[in-house]
A = this chain, B = another copy of it.
Amino acid sequence: MTKKSVLQQARAAYQPKLPSVLWGPVKAVKGEPTQSVGDQEEIKKLFPNTYGLPELEFVKDTDASKKKTGKPAKFNVGVILSGGQAPGGHNVICGLFDGLKALNKENRLYGFLMGPGGLVDHKYKELTASFINDYRNTGGFDMIGSGRTKLETPEQFEKGLEIIKELDIRAIVIIGGDDSNTNAAVLAEYYKAKNVPVQVLGCPKTIDGDLKNEWIETSFGFDTATKVYSELIGNIERDANSAKKYWHFMKLMGRSASHIALECALKTQPNYCIVSEEVEAKNMTLNDIVADIAKVVAQRAADGNNFGSVLVPEGLIEFIPAMKKLIAQLNDMLAEHPEIKQMEPDAQHKFVVDHLTKENVEAFNSLPVDVQRQLSLDRDPHGNVQVSLIETEKLLSDMVEKKLEQMKEKGEYVGKFSALHHFFGYEGRCADPSNFDADYCYALGYNAAQLVNCGATGYMSSIRNLAKPSIQWIAGGIPITMMFNMEQRNGKQKPVIRKALVDLNGRPFQVFAQHRAKWARETCYVYPGPVQYFGPDEVCNQTSKTLYYEQEGK
């Protein structure tokens, strides 16, 4: 553990606010048997032992003290951080630890190191109170590290079982996103089918906000990450409004979904925010988007405002139908003709254009030369184009600039256009968690200990009613199979948790859509400032706008 900053020293003393239902002994109330959200028959067949489990809700066990059932059961638990960092991961582990110790002081917690690979490779560390205490309310996943190994094969499951038995572990808690939780369900089914007494539980993690449904109101980390990005966007908007000479194009992390961009837009009221899901729904081309932004630039210029802010979601390119088709054909072409990669730029361009469909040639030619080349060359190990490497923010501003030149010639635009570019992502993944994420994560972990205690497997730790103060939150467990449907992955139909994209009929998008014309034309920036950990309640304990509008709309 390195030197702590003064803020971290002060913040270490923060006691996360646990839902009141978890303040003492609980009992699980079972709901009706559940169904998966889609493809029920196939899912049921794939998960014969963990399909159809009931939802669980914890209520206070007021009779607990009278029961005097002797010493409570003693058990050990293993915990794994899976995938990209999200603020609050350490607090899930701290909550889990405290929950286990509250059940029985002799319970032990093991952390598998550097992600799911630690389970397979038997790399672990016992997490003791003194070790854990240094990580309370801190960001990052450095307590035990994270990794992207996918737990998918029986060989991995068996290797895991060896160490599970050796350490006498009763349950594995996997803290991860949709894919990691999907794998948790597969693992739970595998052990249940083998009649091995190992429970597997999941916790919903991802700053991207795309692990979300009726039962999981938000994934942890989204709140803090969007607060950090909004601090930066607000600062840059204030800079734009002071200097009055730059258009700032800001790309935001978030993978496919545009939840992060939308949340930041609701917080900072930029002049423009692209929502990928809308681009797809409206079947917009790249040129359509560019024309729309150029229109806003021209309108503002007409008012004498040659400055502005544009938010760009990371996953945009894949949502533009024309680009999607183009990329698909390019992927196939490169697989068939690997020699393309070695060609000189001109020859390559000719070859590609000659072999593309007429529709795709049009999309291809709409792109600047360097992006054309990027699409024709770089591929990830699976042969897919690495869209995240495409500097969409620069691509868009370059195209907007060209469009404005054309408009200028036609007399449709009078003004100056000077663009600056930013990409915000890594800045927010390891920030110290906001009060919301500190509380939410601690509750998710503490709650997971209760799920272990009541014997649940194949469940995700679920804390609900999140727009309310944390002591009013509802705690329980949701069968992971309930969130499943079948989707195409790497050419195969697989059971997966349905990824939550931005719902264009949902309140968060609707509120944005209602205001965006005004935000585009006028300068309505809001400057949220940095995350505060001390001070007035309304400053420190605000939930995300997304959650607020979703719950308010209920």
Residue A140 CB within 8 A of the other chain:
yes
Chain B: minimal CB distance from A327 (Å): 23
A225 (CB) vs chain B CBs: closest residue: B235
- B529 touching A242, Cβ below 8 Å: no
When chains A and B are docked, how far (Å) is the Cα of A77 from the Cα of B347? Answer: 68
Kindly state the interface size class of chain A when it binds its partner. 35 or more
Q: A140's contact among B10, B239, B420, by CB below 8 Å, is which?
A: B239
Cβ of A193 to closest chain B Cβ, rounded Å: 34
Contact of A141 among B3, B139, B242, B426 (CB under 8 A): B242
Contact A142 B241 (CB under 8 A): yes
Q: How far is the CB of A106 from chain B (nearest CB, A)?
A: 30
- List the B side residues contacting A529 at CB < 8 Å: 5, 7-8, 11, 431-432
4 A-B pairs closest in CB distance = A534-B535, A530-B530, A238-B430, A140-B238
CB distance from A386 to the nearest CB of B (A): 13
Also in contact, A236 and B430, with CB within 8 A (given A140-B241, A532-B7, A535-B533): yes
A534 contact from B7, B269, B536, Cβ within 8 A: B536
**A259 interfacial contact with B, CB 8 Å:** no
**Structural contact, A142 and B235, CB atoms closer than 8 A:** no
- Given known A-B contacts A235-B228, A532-B533, A536-B534, A524 and B242 have beta carbons under 8 A apart: no
| Residue in B closest to A237 when the chains form the complex, CB atoms | B430
Majority-rule SS of A interface residues:
loop
State which of B114, B526, B532 has its C-beta within 8 Å of the C-beta of A532. B532
In the bound complex, residues from chain B placing their C-beta under 8 Å from that of A526 are 2-5
For A244, what are the chain B residues with a Cβ–Cβ distance below 8 Å? Answer: 114, 145
CA A198 to CA B145, docked complex, whole Å: 64
**Copies per complex of this chain:** 2
Known A10-B539, A527-B432, A534-B532: A239·B85 in contact at CB below 8 Å? yes
Contact with B along A132-149 (1 / 0, CB 8 A): 000000111110011000
Report how far A146 CA is from B139 CA in the complex, Å.
37
Q: A10-B535, A140-B242 are in contact. Are A428 and B524 (CB under 8 A)?
A: no
Determine the chain B residues whose CB is within 8 A of the CB of A114 once the complex forms.
244
In this complex, which of A2, A8, A139, A244 has the most chain B Cβ atoms within 10 angstroms of its Cβ? Answer: A2
Give the complex CA separation of A236 and B525 in angstroms: 27
A428 neighbours in B (Cβ, 8 Å): 235
Partner of A426, one of B422, B530, B531, B538: B422
Residues of B within 8 A of A535 (CB): 10, 533-535
Interface contact B2-A525, CB-CB below 8 Å: yes
A139 in contact with B235 given A526-B4, A528-B5, A529-B5 (CB within 8 Å): yes
Fill in one digit per residue for A523-554: 1 if any B CB lies within 8 Å of its CB, else 0.
Answer: 11111111111111011001000000000000
A222-270 at interface with B (beta carbon < 8 Å): 228, 231-232, 234-236, 238-239, 241-244, 248, 267, 269
